[in-house]
Every structure is written in C-alpha cells, then in structure tokens.
Chain A
Amino acid sequence: MLAIMAAALIAIATLSGCSPDARQAALSGAADVVQTTKARRDAFYHERAEHCLAAAETFDAWRECFAPASGLGRAVDVFVDALRAAQEAHDAGEADGFTAKARELVQAAVHVVNAFSTAGLEVPAAVLQVAAFAGEI
C-alpha cells in the first residue's frame, strides 16, 4: 500500500505551489488520495477474497490467505484516524498538539508500509521518502 504513503509525498510535492499552508496541503493531499483510491482498494480486497476462496479449504485457511489484505485495510483505517486527529490539531492552532499528532501520523504511515511489506513486496524508496517527509511536518 505504497499509494497511501506515496500520497503524502507526491501530493505534497505537487501541491506545495497551491497553498502557503504546507501542513494543510499535506493533510488534504493524503486525504484526497485515500478517498480517490477507495474503489481500487475495494476491488483489490474483493479480488483477494475470491482468490482465497479458491485457494483455501477452510475458513481459517481463508483468513490466513486474506491476512495481507485485512492488514492493509486496518492500516489504512488507522492512517485515516491519524489524519483526522492531525487535522483537528491543525485547526486548533496549537503547534505542540500538531507535532504530537504528526508523530502518530508517521507511526500510522509506518504501519501502512509494514502492511505492504507483509504482502511480500519490497517497499519502494519513494515510500520511505514519504515517511521521511512526514517526519518533517
């Protein structure tokens, strides 16, 4: 699930010229990507579920087969919760509060990276750059 992570980097980089508020740009860009990729994620979950139905003989085996997908979904939801919390802190205008929420956001982003890794794929360098960027929010 590099996309959610890459969302921050690419969106932030591209959007930096759209607004003087880099924080809002970062948050909105990431949220926008979460939203616009929802249908694709759903399609992926359904494909994976069908694949596991064909491959697994029992429900337990199905869950094991489906674990990378469910891990991904869980990580994305946590990431969204962290985004909302960071937005609230940003709206409150408290620098310290936002910094704390930004740390949680980075942590959630790391979980998304881990979920992607669990799928057995190497995490692209761009994703790591996103994490590094997120750390600077």
Chain B
Amino acid sequence: MDVLLKILTEAGPYVKLAFELGVAVIEAAQNCEIHKTVGEILAERVPDMETIRELETRAREHYARRASVPANPFEVSPEKARVLRTLATTSAPTVTLSRADVLRALES
C-alpha cells in the first residue's frame, strides 16, 4: 500500500502534465495553421534545455549557500570567542577592547 501511494505521489505531476498537454494537442490540431513551416512556427522558441540549465544553476547556488552555513548556528570563530569571553568574564562596569579586536572579531 505504501509503495502504491509512493508511486501515485511520484506519478502525479506527470499525469497532470500529460493531461494538460493532451488538451493542448487537440487545441493545436484545431488551429489548422499548416501553411506555416516548422521554422516559422518555432522561430522564437527557447530550447527546453535552457530552462533546465537555469533551474540547475539555481539549485547549485541553493546548495552552495546551504553548505556555507555552519552546521552549528552557535559556533563562533576563535576570534569572536575571545572577545565574547572577555566580555563575559570581566567584572568591570566597562570593558576595554581595541577597535582592531572588534573588527577582527566581526570579520572572522
């Protein structure tokens, strides 16, 4: 039963596409515009693979972005950790950190 459900779920989009295209086929056949050549009809056609390549590029970028995010969102660089430790462990009302320390921490 699970297998059947999986097959139907997977097949769904294709069945829908096939149905829609089937309807389009009948409509196109009714156009009766056979005086045009293949070149004329498809003059401004964008190849399907161009669309496919765009989608592949988008997907590649999506996974690249995902890979660049640290696995642990609380993970910080050693530089940031050092600054945070300084802030957390000081008992003074004010903390002295150099501008270079802060910039390094932000850029790390």
Total A-B Cβ pairs within 8 A: 165
Task: Name the interface size band of chain B.
Answer: 35 or more
The answer to whether B48 touches A84 (Cβ under 8 A) is no
Number of A interface residues, CB 8 Å?
A: 64
Identify 9 residue pairs between A and B in the complex whose beta-carbon atoms are under 8 Å apart, listed by A's number. Answer: A2-B18, A6-B22, A7-B25, A32-B33, A32-B36, A66-B56, A69-B52, A70-B49, A80-B47
Cα-based distance from A10 to B30 in the complex (angstroms):
10
B→A interface (CB under 8 Å): 7, 10-11, 13-15, 17-18, 20-22, 24-39, 41-42, 45-49, 51-52, 55-56, 58-60, 62-64
* A59 pairs with B28, CB closer than 8 A: no
B54 to chain A, nearest CB (A): 9
Q: Are B31 and A32 in contact (CB under 8 A)?
A: yes
Residues of B within 8 A of A37 (CB): 20-21, 24-25, 28
